[in-house]
C-alpha cells in the first residue's frame, strides 16, 4: 500500500490536504492526474446511468437542506456508529467492525459453527434493550482484540453521531442549525415529484446524482478509502411495490458488469456480500466488495429501500408523496432500489488493481494498467529530437489530438525514460515521431502493457485513440 500512496503523491494523483500546515486527518486533494482520472470515472458512471437508460435523469441537489429532512430520514436520531476505545493505546474503533471482522476470521479458520453463533449474538444485539452493552459483552466474551495492536483494554461502547453540524445565519443558536449532508440520496427523495413532473417520468424511473457527502467518521484511514469528505455516485430507482426484487436483481447484474466491462477491473478481485443484518429501511441488500491491499472492502451498495424514505418525507412534510398511475389509476408510494457507489473508494480500487511491477528490456518498471477510458492521460507524443522538423510535426500532432483527448508532450531524456514515465501514470499509448515520420508520414505506436510497437499513418492517430476509448 505504501508504494501506491507514494506513487499517487509523486505523480500528482492525490496529495495530503493542506500539507504545508501539517495536513488534516482523512482529508486529501486530487492533483492534476487524479482530478482527470476522477472526472473520467464520474463521466463513465453518468453515461452508464443517464445515457444508456432513457428512464433515468440527473440531479444536483444542495449540500445543505432544511434540517427536518434529516429528522425525517432518521439521521438526527439514529445515524450513529457504536464506538469503543482501547484504554492502553488510546485508539478508537467501531465496535460493529471489530465483531464483523472477528466473524470473518472465524470463517477463514474453518470455525463455521462458532462463526454462526457469534453472528446470531451480533444480530440479537441490535434488538437488545441496551445494544451498546450487548455489543460490549460480545467483544469481551469472544476475547476480541484490536486488529492493529493486539490490545484489548476496552471502554464501554457508546454511540457517536456522524453528521457534521454547522450554524446558518448571523447568530449561532439551535434555530439556525443545519447539517452537511451525510449522503446524497435524500436530495433525490425530496425532489421526487419535482423531477417526475418536470421530466414527465413514469414509474419505473430513476434519478441519478453525483455529489459530495460528509461524515465525521470514528475510524479514518487507509488513504482515501475512508475520508470525512467524499464523493458519492447514487441512483434511486422508483418502482411499483411488488416489483422491487426483479428490479433489484437486474441492477445487481448491471452494476457488477459495469466494473468489469467498462472499467476493466479484474473480476476475481470483486466479491458479493449479502447483508443478513439489514438497515431499518431495507428488505434486501448486497455490497460489491474489492480486494484492496488492506482487505476486502465495499465499493458499492445495492439496496432495496422499500417505501421508507418517501413515506417518512410525506409524514414529516405533510406533502403527498404518492404516485398515481395514469393508465390504471392506481395510487401507491413507490418502492426504491438504490445503487450507491463511492467515487473515492472506486478511484483507489482502480489504482490498486492497475498497479504492476515488471521487467522490460532488462529494466524494472512500474506501470498502471488502467483501461484507456479511465486513464487520465490518453497518449503521449514523443519527438525523437527536441528541435527541427520532428519537433514541429510532434507539436502539430499534440495540438490536433488535444482537441479531443488529454495528451502529454515530452521531449526530455532518452526515449526509454520517457516511456517509463508514461507507464507509471497509466498512459496507454505513446506516439513517437522519428526520422521515418519525416520520410513517409508514419509514427510509432507503443503499447503500455506489452511494450509492443507498430507503425500507423500520422493522420490515423486521432481515429486510433477514439477507437481505443469506445
Q: Is the pLDDT of residue 330 over 70?
A: yes
What pLDDT was estimated at residue 112?
94
> Is residue 322 a known part of a binding site?
no
User: What are 257-293's pLDDT values in tens digits?
Assistant: 999 999 999 999 999 999 887 887 889 999 999 999 9
Q: DSSP secondary-structure letter at 63?
A: S
Residue 35 burial (C-beta neighbours within 10 Å; 0-12, 13-18, 19+): middle
pLDDT given at position 174: 59
The residue that leads in pLDDT, 414 or 219, is: 414
228 is in an annotated binding site: yes
Question: In percent, how much of the chain has pLDDT > 70?
Answer: 98
Is residue 345 annotated as involved in ligand binding? yes
Report how far residue 13's alpha carbon sits from residue 228's, in angstroms, rounded to the nearest whole number.
Answer: 19
Cβ-contact 235, 258 below 8 angstroms: no
Please give the mean pLDDT across all residues of the chain: 94
pLDDT at 212 exceeding the cut of 90: yes
Query: Does the annotation flag 457 for ligand binding?
Result: no
Is residue 166 part of an annotated ligand binding site? no
pLDDT (0 to 100) of residue 128: 92
Does residue 219 carry a pLDDT above 80? no
Q: In angstroms, rounded to a whole number, what is the distance separating the alpha carbons of residues 129 and 332?
A: 35
Is residue 235 marked as binding? Answer: no
> Is 421 labelled as part of a ligand binding site?
no
Please state the rounded mean pLDDT for residues 394-402: 97
- Judged against a pLDDT cut of 90, whether residue 235 lies above it is answered with yes
230 is in an annotated binding site: yes
Cell of 282: 431495507
Grade residue 360 by pLDDT with cuts at 50, 70 and 90: confident
Tell whether residue 468 is among the known ligand binding residues.
no
Task: Confirm or deny that 268 is annotated as ligand binding.
Answer: no
User: Is residue 25 classed as helix, strand or coil in its secondary structure?
Assistant: coil
Express each pLDDT in 401-437 by its tens digit.
999 999 999 999 999 999 999 999 999 999 999 999 9
Identify the pLDDT of residue 41.
Answer: 98
- For residue 100, say whether it is annotated as part of any ligand binding site: no
Q: What is the mean pLDDT of residues 101-108?
A: 92
pLDDT of residue 164: 93
User: Is 139 annotated in some ligand binding site?
Assistant: no
Q: How confident is the model at residue 175 (pLDDT cuts 50, 70, 90)?
A: low
Could you tell me the three cell numbers for 385? 529530437
Answer whether residue 170 shows pLDDT above 70. Answer: no
226 is in an annotated binding site: yes
pTM of the full structure? 0.88
The reported pLDDT for the residue numbered 106 is 94
343 — pLDDT class (breaks 50, 70, 90) = very high
With both helix axes pointing from N to C terminus, report the angle between 461-469 and 389-401 in degrees, rounded to the nearest 10: 40
Q: Which domains does the chain have, with CATH numbers?
A: 1-65+184-352 (3.30.930.10), 80-161 (3.30.40.230), 377-469 (3.40.50.800)
Rounded to an integer, what distance in angstroms lies between the CA atom of residue 71 and that of residue 24?
Answer: 30
pLDDT tens-digit map of 22-51 = 999 899 999 999 999 999 999 999 999 999
- 28 annotated as belonging to a binding site for a ligand: no
- The answer to whether 232 is a known ligand-binding residue is yes
| pLDDT reported for residue 276 | 82
Is 64 among the annotated ligand-binding positions?
no
Question: For residue 43, how far is the Cα from the chain centroid?
Answer: 13
* Sign of torsion over alpha carbons 162, 278, 339, 331: negative
Is 236 annotated for ligand binding? no
To the question of whether residue 167 is assigned a binding role by annotation, the answer is: no
Is the pLDDT at 438 greater than 60, yes or no? yes
pLDDT of residue 90: 87
Q: Is the pLDDT of residue 81 over 90?
A: no
- Contact present, 128 and 137 (Cβ < 8 Å): no
Say whether 183 counts as a known binding-site residue.
yes
Residues 6+ apart with CB under 8 A from 93: 83, 84, 85, 86, 146, 218, 219
Residue 362 confidence class, pLDDT cut points 50, 70, 90:
confident
Is 444 marked as binding a ligand?
no
pLDDT mean over 200-223: 91
The answer to whether 341 is annotated as binding is yes
User: Is 142 annotated as contributing to ligand binding?
Assistant: no
Asked if residue 308 belongs to a known ligand binding site, the reply is no
Which has the closest alpha carbon to 229: 67, 63, 96?
Answer: 63
Does 71 count as an annotated binding residue? no
Evaluate if residue 173 carries a pLDDT over 80.
Answer: no
Beta sheet of 56-59, edge-to-edge order: 56-59, 205-214, 229-239, 335-342, 295-306, 284-292, 270-274
Q: Which three cell numbers stand for residue 337?
A: 432500489
Amino acid at each position: 500500500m505504501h508504494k501506491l500512496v507514494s506513487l499517487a503523491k509523486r505523480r500528482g494523483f492525490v496529495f495530503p490536504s493542506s500539507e504545508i500546515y501539517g495536513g488534516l486527518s482523512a482529508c486529501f486533494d486530487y492533483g492534476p492526474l487524479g482530478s482527470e482520472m476522477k472526472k473520467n470515472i464520474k463521466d463513465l458512471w453518468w453515461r452508464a446511468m443517464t445515457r444508456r437508460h432513457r428512464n433515468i435523469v440527473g440531479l444536483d441537489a444542495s449540500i445543505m437542506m432544511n434540517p427536518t429532512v434529516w429528522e425525517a430520514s432518521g439521521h438526527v436520531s439514529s445515524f450513529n456508529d457504536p464506538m469503543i476505545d482501547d484504554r492502553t493505546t488510546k485508539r478508537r474503533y467501531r465496535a460493529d467492525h471489530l465483531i464483523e471482522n472477528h466473524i470473518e476470521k472465524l470463517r477463514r479458520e474453518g470455525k463455521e459453527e462458532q462463526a454462526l453463533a457469534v453472528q446470531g449474538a451480533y444480530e440479537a444485539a441490535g434488538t437488545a434493550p441496551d445494544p451498546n452493552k450487548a455489543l460490549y459483552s460480545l467483544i469481551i466474551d469472544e476475547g476480541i482484540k484490536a486488529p492493529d495492536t493486539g490490545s484489548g483494554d476496552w471502554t464501554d461502547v457508546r454511540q457517536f453521531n456522524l453528521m457534521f453540524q454547522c450554524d446558518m445565519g448571523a447568530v449561532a443558536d439551535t434555530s439556525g442549525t443545519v447539517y452537511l449532508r451525510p449522503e446524497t440520496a435524500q436530495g433525490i427523495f425530496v425532489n421526487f415529484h419535482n423531477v417526475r413532473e418536470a421530466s414527465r417520468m413514469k414509474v419505473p424511473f430513476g434519478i441519478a446524482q453525483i455529489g459530495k457527502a460528509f461524515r465525521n467518521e470514528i475510524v479514518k484511514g487507509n488513504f482515501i478509502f475512508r475520508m470525512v469528505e467524499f464523493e458519492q455516485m447514487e441512483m434511486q430507482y422508483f418502482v411499483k411495490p411488488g416489483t422491487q426484487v426483479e428490479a433489484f436483481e437486474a441492477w445487481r447484474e448491471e452494476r457488477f458488469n459495469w466494473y468489469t466491462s467498462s472499467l476493466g477491473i479484474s473480476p476475481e478481485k470483486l466479491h458479493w456480500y449479502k447483508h443478513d443484518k439489514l438497515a431499518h429501511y431495507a428488505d434486501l441488500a448486497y455490497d460489491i466488495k474489492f480486494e484492496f491491499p488492506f482487505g476486502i472492502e465495499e465499493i458499492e451498495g445495492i439496496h432495496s429501500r422499500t417505501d421508507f424514505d418517501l413515506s417518512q418525507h410525506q409524514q414529516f412534510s405533510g406533502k403527498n408523496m404518492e404516485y398515481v398511475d395514469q393508465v390504471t389509476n392506481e395510487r401507491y408510494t413507490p418502492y426504491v432500489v438504490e445503487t450507491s457507489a463511492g467515487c473515492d473508494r472506486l478511484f483507489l480500487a482502480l489504482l490498486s488493481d492497475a498497479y504492476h511491477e515488471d521487467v522490460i528490456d532488462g529494466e524494472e518498471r512500474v506501470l498502471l494498467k488502467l483501461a484507456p477510458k479511465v486513464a487520465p492521460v490518453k497518449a503521449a507524443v514523443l519527438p525523437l529530437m527536441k528541435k527541427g522538423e520532428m519537433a514541429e510535426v510532434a507539436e502539430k500532432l499534440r495540438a490536433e489530438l488535444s482537441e479531443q483527448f488529454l495528451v502529454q508532450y515530452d521531449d526530455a531524456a532518452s526515449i526509454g525514460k520517457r516511456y517509463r514515465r508514461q507507464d507509471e501514470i497509466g498512459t496507454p499509448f505513446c506516439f513517437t515521431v522519428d526520422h521515418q515520420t519525416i520520410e513517409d508520414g508514419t509514427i510509432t505506436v507503443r503499447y503500455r502493457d506489452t511494450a509492443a510497437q507498430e507503425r500507423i499513418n500520422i493522420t490515423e492517430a486521432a481515429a486510433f485513440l477514439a477507437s481505443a476509448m469506445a
